[in-house]
Structure 1
Amino acid sequence: MAAGFRGGRSSSEVRLTQWKWFSRAGAPTERVLIGVSLVAIVGGNLVFDALNPDAVPLAARLAVLVGAFIVLTVLPLVVHAIRRPAPYADLSAKTVRVRSRVTPFASFTTARRIETGRSKQVVLEVSAPGEKVLLELRDRLGRVTTDPTQDAIVTFLQGSRVAMPSSSEDPTGRFAHVNFPQHLTREQAIELASHPLTSPDIGAGHHDVEAPSRGESTIG
């Protein structure tokens, strides 16, 4: 079944991102936004002083700096929200919708763990032809995605056809874990989504890690 398009949101859909749009995976961090804003404020003052400190009224100077601050902090977030809209899973139809584009679970064939540079964050990218979905399993503050979002993510992965990729040099995929160290099998992706705290090595080139299955206790 190929991807299609649909208008509107189904009542059976579950959002696959638990956190607000401005804190989703890939969004500009607070440090970057604060740094850019400080550069704009300092740079603006230097430009005003270089031109003529007395030529620009204080009120106008403040208005320009506040406007620059708003643009430089809000614009990157808006651009990110447009480029990375939230995905929704229709569990009854077994489809994922991004905006109006609808893709069946079974069309997603690869999953890889994204390196974010933050030790607490766990992000999974699941791909189908013409579609990529970012799943933030644990955010940069260390918060783990909970139900119903987590359950929807696990159901989505269970219905997918995610598998390790192969290459012409290794058609059987025997060395896939070496050639594609960040990629996961469907079982590994499900395990990572179920236990993002107890499976830190999955998708980092260590595919022999065994973790408890969903619903089992980790306490011996």
Structure 2
Amino acid sequence: MEPEQMEAKPPEPASAGAPASRLPHGWVPIGERQWSIVWVGASSLVGTLIIYQTLFFITQVGRLLELPLPVVAIVAVGVVTTVLVVMTLVHRWRWPQPAVNLDTSELRSGTKVVPLAAVTTASLAVVSVRKTRVLVLRVTADKEARAEFVLRNRNNHTPDAETLGVLSEALRRTSIAMPVSKDDPDGRFARYNFPGFLTREQAVALVLDPPESDEPLPILIA
């Protein structure tokens, strides 16, 4: 179901968040870069199938060419490694390292800089890793910029309090709202039509207190 143009909510004033005197100045990088984050949003089954199909294809080609088993093994490892590297590079190009400047109320994603008020959507990507859940908040400013923030990593760690404070204040200054479908103009069923998306208030609450693995999430999980 395609969302229509969303009616942007005016950003809340800075006074609604942390006191301005306690907020850092200039550009503040948010989060850390992990190669494994490329798998967030995809199930472990999908990842396993990708690797299995790649290894199966290489093995079959090796048999047809009558290559020695050690050669096939080396080629398989090389191909899988290359695939992972390419996927990581593509992911970093699509989701660059974000930074926030609260002095100017701007978001920087890679080489793109946009006003925080231009950020209109937020969604939560979730993937289970062992006994923990990786939580990644993704925000977009139409087609201009996008950014993602790891709220809880595979080691069940969250960003430090200062980082979470900066991010929550930045989110308060955005125009994030739930997408609206033409078939549901009042947004009564937006949670079901767009299960991964969040309101601005939900995004702020999520950042201030990232849920543990046994705690409920503000989105529907299939």
TM-score, normalization: structure 1?
0.66
Q: Paired residue for 1:147? A: 161
- Name the counterpart of 2:114: 103
Q: Alpha-carbon deviations, 1:57-104, whole Å to 9, x = none?
A: 97x767645543442332222222222211211222211111211111
Cα distance per residue 1:118-142 (max 9 Å; x no partner): 2612222222221332222112442
Q: Identify unmatched segments of 5+ residues in structure 1.
A: 1-10, 206-220
1:196 aligns with 2:205: no
Match of 1:80 among 71, 75, 91: 91
The 3-state SS of whatever aligns with 1:24 is helix
2:170 paired residue number? 156
- Provide the rounded CA distance (Å) in 1 between the counterparts of 2:47 and 2:191: 37
Taking structure 1 as reference, are residues 163 and 50 closer, same or farther at Cα in structure 2, changes over 3 Å only?
closer
The CA deviation at 1:36 is 5.6
Return the alpha-carbon distance in structure 1 between the equivalents of residues 220 and 47 of structure 2.
29
CA distance in 2, matches of 1:192, 1:99: 24
Aligned counterparts, 1:1-220, within 5 A:
12-16=26-30, 18-24=31-37, 26=39, 44=58, 47-52=61-66, 64-65=75-76, 67-114=78-125, 116-118=126-128, 120-130=133-143, 131-197=145-211, 200-204=216-220
Partner of 1:215: none
Q: Shift in Å at residue 192 of structure 1?
A: 0.7
2:202 and 2:47 mapped to 1: Cα distance? 35
TM-score, normalization: structure 2?
0.65
Hey, what does 1:3 align to over in structure 2?
none
Q: Which stretch shifts more, 146-155 or 160-169?
A: 160-169
Size of the aligned set, in residue pairs, is: 190
In 1, the alpha carbon distance for the partners of 2:45 and 2:194 equals: 31
Aligned residue type for 1:83: R
- Kept in 2: contact 1:37–1:73 (CA 8 A): no
**Structure 2 match to 1:8:** none
Question: Aligned-pair RMSD on alpha carbons?
Answer: 3.6
Task: Flag the structure with more relative contact order, 1 or 2, with Cα contacts below 8 A and sequence separation at least 6.
Answer: 2
- Using the alignment, how far apart are the partners of 1:77 and 1:21 within structure 2? 9
Percent identity among equivalent residues? Answer: 28
